[in-house]
Amino acid sequence: MKLLLFLLLPSLVFAQWMPRSSGTDAHFRAVHAVGKNVVWVGGSKGTFVRTTDGGKTWQAGTVPGAETCDFRDVHAFSATTAYLMAAGPAEQGQARLYRTTNGGKTWQLLYQSRQPGVFFDSMDFWNRWEGLVFSDPVDGKWFVLHTTNGGRSWQRIPPENLPALQTGEAAFAASGSSLITRGYKWKTYNYQRAWIASGGAGKGRIFYAQSPTTEWRTAETPIPAGKTSGIFGLWFDDQGQRGIAVGGDYKDEKAPSQNVAVTSDGGRTWTPATPTDPPGLKEAIGQLSGSRLIAVGPSGTCYTLDYGKTWTRIDDSAFHALSCAGGRCWAVGAKGVIAVIGTVK
């Protein structure tokens, strides 16, 4: 009996998504879970929502002065402290970064750019003080900002440290996971690794650095890229060695393709993995526990227990972004959709 239960456990764990009422019809493409009870979500119309009780109740609000902004990424450190990134043309006042330290009661505008071409795609932090945000290319290079003081100030990483982009190459502000950071200490060295995923031309590429202010390098993946296709989301383990990239085509969301690539050497080389089931565009991937990873996108959701060698369909639920912590994964989508899966009572 115990053996049978063990064999059935993976199916039971991923049985179904459980919807939660967000109290808003804003479109969501940003979510960050801090443990199993605290979750922050960012959306259109300057909207944010937050739960501190595991999704039983949600606080919905609008950032004052940001009613026209679309928050495509959120990064939280606690129930009180969170950052929001607005995606959109800087020329129209859409490229902004906000922070709250009191649970969303007030928000501080940390940064705003009006430089032509700036369009923020994703952000991530190593810790409460150090983080990155990046934009589509300006003059053929990523526009990458670095903070070392919790977002109070931001400095652009010198363009000469970044490789040139191909014609048409850019990123997708779809799930807040086209930029990933990982930090760890080995012996006397502190590593602050970072990865950026691209699409738009040829094959999806990964831009990576051992330290954000040093020289960045590139690696090609087997994921096809075009004007509307490429890599949409990244996941890396805590050591920054094993990673998975997912993607597809947002104009043909259900089209089968080579939508998964994997690495075991920190992103220096990538190999094709088994395409997901269901097939089609996958925008984010997250780790529920151990080797249990979930991929989500407009074409449906699935999970893998072997880092992309095989995939099992969960259902056809359409989500854009995903965040996992405390044995739970939270997914968000259009029209205020929020759902959770995992060890939920």
pLDDT digits (tens, 9 = 90+) for 201-234: 999 999 999 888 889 999 999 999 999 999 999 9
Mean pLDDT across 1-14: 43
CA atoms within 13 A on the CB side of 14: 21
Kindly state the average pLDDT of the residues 111-124: 97
8 pLDDT higher than 70: no
pLDDT over 50 at 3, yes or no: no
Per-residue confidence at 191, pLDDT binned at 50, 70, 90?
A: confident
Nearest one of 288, 341, 297 to 318, comparing CA atoms: 297
- pLDDT of 189: 66
Query: pLDDT above 90 covers what percent of the chain?
Result: 90
Residue pair 297/281 in contact (Cβ under 8 Å)? The answer is yes
Query: What integer is the mean pLDDT of 229-245?
Result: 97
> Which two tokens mark 22?
């967000």
Rounded to the nearest 10°, the torsion over CA 212, 217, 220, 221 is -30
Does residue 22 surpass a pLDDT of 60?
Answer: yes
The gap from C-alpha 9 to its chain's centroid, in whole angstroms, comes to: 27
Task: Give the domain extent around 103.
Answer: 2-342
Query: Average pLDDT over the chain, rounded to whole?
Result: 94
Please tell me whether the overall predicted TM-score, pTM, comes out greater than 0.85 for this model.
yes
Is residue 17 a contact partner of residue 315, using CB atoms and an 8 Å limit? Answer: yes
Q: Is the pLDDT of residue 7 over 90?
A: no
How many other C-beta atoms lie within 10 A of the C-beta of residue 64?
Answer: 11
Burial state string for 264-286 with b = 16 or more CB within 10 A and e = fewer than 16: eebbeebeebebbbbbbbbbbbb
Check if the beta carbon of residue 25 is closer than 8 Å to that of residue 336. Answer: yes
Residues 13, 304 contacting (CB under 8 angstroms): no
Distance between CA atoms of residues 160 and 49, nearest Å: 39
The pLDDT of residue 11 is 44
- Which helix (H) or strand (E) segment holds residue 133: the answer is strand 131-138
Distance CA 234, CA 293 (A): 12
Element (H, E) at 3: helix 2-13
pLDDT of residue 33: 98
Question: The tokens of 218 are what?
Answer: 């590139």
Question: Distance (Å, rounded) from C-alpha 231 to C-alpha 319?
Answer: 16
3-state secondary structure of 93: coil
Burial of 139 (0-12, 13-18, 19+ CB in 10 A): exposed
Has residue 256 got a pLDDT over 50?
yes
Token pair 């959770």 is found at 340
pLDDT at 1 over 70: no
Contacts of 148 (CB under 8 A, 6+ apart): 129, 130
User: Per-residue DSSP letters for 103-124?
Assistant: TTSS-EEEEEE--TT--EEEEE
Task: Enter the tokens of residue 13.
Answer: 């764990």
Q: Which CATH number do you get for residue 21?
A: 2.130.10.10
Spatial CB neighbours of 336, under 8 Å, sequence gap ≥ 6:
22, 23, 24, 25, 26, 27, 28, 43
pLDDT score, position 343? 64
Q: What is the pLDDT of residue 190?
A: 74
C-alpha distances in angstroms, 93 versus 74, 140, 151, 272? 18, 22, 19, 39
C-alpha–C-alpha distance, residues 247 and 273, integer Å: 12
Q: For the chain, how many structural domains are there in total?
A: 1
pLDDT of residue 186: 67
Contact 120, 93 (CB under 8 A): no
Q: Which amino acid is at 312?
A: T
Q: Which residues share a beta bridge with 193?
A: 182
Mean pLDDT, rounded, for 26-49: 97
pLDDT at 9: 44
- Give, as one character, the DSSP assignment of residue 212: T
Query: Distance between CA 33 and CA 42 in Å, rounded?
Result: 12
Query: Which tens digits make up the pLDDT trace of 76-94?
Result: 999 999 999 999 999 999 9
Where on the phi/psi map is residue 320: left (φ > 0), alpha (ψ -120 to 50), or beta?
alpha
